[in-house]
Amino acid sequence: MDILETAAYDRRQRRNTSCALLFSLLPFFLSTALFFYLWTTDSPASIVSAAVKTAPTVLLAAVVLSWNGGQSVLGVAGGLLFSAVGDCCLVWPELFVHGMGAFAVAHLMYSLTFLSSRYPTRSSSSLTIVLFLILLTIGGGYYMYIYPFLQKAPDSELLIPGVGVYIVLITLMGALAIRTRHAATLLGSLSFIVSDIALALQVFKVTQLQHGNTIVMGTYYLAQLLIAVGDIKATANKEDFGKWKRS
């Protein structure tokens, strides 16, 4: 009977936690809806448009900090804040390289977090290497595909090596996300890759996607949401496991 009561209590706790997390994410959903409501293809670059664009990511960082504490500044919360810097830079096309650098730091912080004890190893390191090589091969093929367009860009001397390094970092992040075996984390990393692919196709004038910005920002906000939720869930699962071991 005690075991049944404990199991029922754990289910109630998980349900209450999920409801509390959903409630704390409401500002993110509202700010995302505001962005899509206000944004148009001819929206001028301004401080206001930058604030509207970065608000969802900053709010997500605040949610992660409130759930996981200050140590997450060096992890997913920090990655979200660097992403917000990248969002702000991309409002002005001439700051694209700076934005790419900020996102590269964010991917590095995500990768280090996925390697931490918060995400227990559930697959062999050799499998992680294989997955990384597969993703890197795909990324390398994509890099070769857009290379002629990078050569035509005004900042080609910075973009050609910069985009190459960026592809390596986001590929590493994706491979390490697969390694965690957390569904939200995995889907978030893949959504981030899709968003960046769609963005590059437009920025480097490879092709113009119909509703391209909606695709880019929709998959981007979804990616950040899933990575944030995955990190919160991973921390909660670790704490629950620690309590179980001590009991």
Looking at residue 45, the DSSP 8-state letter turns out to be P
- 52-88 residue pLDDT tens: 999 999 999 999 999 988 888 889 999 999 999 999 9
pLDDT of residue 2 exceeding 70, the answer is no
Q: Report the domain count for the chain.
A: 1
pLDDT of residue 131 exceeding 80, the answer is no
Q: In angstroms, rounded to a whole number, what is the distance separating the alpha carbons of residues 239 and 38?
A: 40
Percent of the chain with pLDDT strictly greater than 70: 86
pLDDT of residue 30 exceeding 90, the answer is yes
Give the pLDDT band (50/70/90) at residue 122.
low
| Contacts for 139 with CB less than 8 Å, ≥ 6 apart | 167, 168, 170, 171
Reported pTM: 0.87
Q: In angstroms, rounded to a whole number, what is the distance separating the alpha carbons of residues 102 and 114?
A: 19
| Contacts for 7 with CB less than 8 Å, ≥ 6 apart | none
| Mean pLDDT, all residues of the chain | 86
Give the pLDDT band (50/70/90) at residue 50.
very high
What torsion do the CA atoms of 180, 184, 189, 194 make, to the nearest 10 degrees?
Answer: 150
Is 73 in contact with 65 (CB distance < 8 Å)? yes
Give the pLDDT band (50/70/90) at residue 132.
confident
* Domain carrying residue 240: 2-246
- 105-121 residue pLDDT tens: 999 999 999 988 777 66
pLDDT of residue 245 exceeding 60, the answer is no
Give the pLDDT band (50/70/90) at residue 24.
very high
Q: How far is CA 172 from CA 130, 132, 134, 137, in A?
A: 11, 6, 11, 12
Q: How many other CB atoms sit within 10 Å of the CB of residue 62?
A: 16
| pLDDT value for 97 | 94
- 172-229 residue pLDDT tens: 999 889 888 889 999 999 999 999 999 999 999 888 777 888 999 999 999 999 999 9
